[in-house]
Amino acid sequence: MNFLIARVTDPVEHLSRVGVDPASIPIFKNKGEFVSLLIYDVPAISANVIKQEMLAAGGDAAVHKHSITLKVQSTHVLTMGTLAQHKKLVEKLSLMHYWNLDEIARDIKNCLFETKVRAIELPSGRRLEFEKPLIMGIVNVTPDSFYAASRVEKDKLIDLAARMVKEGVDIIDIGGESTRPGSERVSEDEELNRVVPAVETVRKNFDVFISVDTYKAKVAEEALKNGAEIVNDVSALRFDPEMINVLKTYKPAVVLMHMKGEPKTMQENPYYEDVVKEVLYFFKERIEKLREIGLEDKIIIDPGIGFGKRLVDNLEIIKRISEFKSLGKPVLVGASRKSFIGQVLGNVPPEERLYGTLAVTAYCVLNGVDIVRVHDVKENLHVVKLIRAIQPQSR
């Protein structure tokens, strides 16, 4: 008898090749899709219960070596098992109203089994949909953004926007203040004078989603009045207390970005014990803040590549970018031509960082990122299209 064995990375993908009944595919998916969850800072006594319940379900969980003797107060827990085994874990923990176990069950259920945000309703009535990775094109109406080719004078704005639209951009992100490391703040009036006419021009001439890159409430409000539908706030609503009121009034989509410090000082010796953990905790607090005012369904998260991060931090965030999907929100990555790419490639300038940018885009799309914010629309879109052709379910 002639037969062949091949090791596969995604068993669910091969069910149709086996010829199973289509009605059984969801059942096999639960049994065949292996997942691991990293649960941070669990009380040791709770961690021991989680491990025992995962073992009982046929999976396993890794805990600190001293958890069983309670020589440590808390531990991270790494679960390992199928979706079906995690479902059993949730069912058991949900009945345990002590040691935070029912709360952990709720969060596991939200992470694995609740519907993720697939669209955001915008002020115009249109929907920002995430059925495919979106390309956000960068337009800087500034004289000092780090990549000179991204800066545009008023008389060249239509040409740049037209080129981006022709190349397939989904969102045009307009910014009037550079947030590169060491940059100085721009006055509100100056930023308004730069941004509002640019938003008006793009809205009047193109049918494209417009994002305004600002942390100032007044600038966001005027941009929203004139056609913007997304607010991209590098401070995650921390720099201007009035920004929340603007969001409550106009209800745009809002990008919450993580940054340590502010642009002028953010690269002065930033340090993290575990950058992904700390950024996840940051977003957990920010999401709760918007949940309190009824805007949780408007959130997009951006881990802030290059904003108060060392080279090792930027690489770690990208390596573990799929972990941010556990928050249930669309994820945006803005890595285009940034300095960490230059460092990896031998300290090359921004003008020589395109291919490095495309490598980051490819990795991010393969790991479920919903929006890539880029300077070069056509090239990045080509990467996205090829990956989706090879792996249609890569998201």
So which residues are the catalytic ones? Answer: 338, 373
Helix (H) / strand (E) containing 101: helix 101-112
Environment class of residue 69 by beta-carbon count within 10 Å: exposed (0-12), middle (13-18) or buried (19+)?
A: exposed
Burial class of 29 by CB neighbour count within 10 A (0 to 12, 13 to 18, 19+): middle
Backbone angles phi and psi of 279, in degrees to 5: -70, -35
Residue 302, token pair as written in the block: 């951006």
**CB-based burial, 178-203: b 16+ in 10 Å, e otherwise:** bbbbebebbebeebbebbbebbbbbb
Burial grade of 135 (CB within 10 A; 0-12, 13-18, 19 or more): buried
Length of the chain: 395
Element (H, E) at 388: helix 377-390
Q: State the DSSP string of 30-90.
A: HHH-EEEEEEEEEEHHHHHHHHHHHHHHT-EEE--TTTTTT-SSEEEEEEEEEHHHHHHHH
Distance from C-alpha of 184 to C-alpha of 311, rounded to nearest angstrom:
23
**Alpha helices per DSSP H over 339-376:** 339-344, 354-366
Characterise 306 by phi-psi region: left (phi > 0), alpha (psi -120 to 50), beta (else). left
Q: Would residue 212 be called left, alpha or beta, if left means φ above 0 and alpha means ψ between -120 and 50 degrees?
A: beta
Contact between 370 and 170 (Cβ < 8 Å): no
Q: How far apart are the first and last CA of the chain?
A: 39
* Token pair belonging to 387: 């990956």
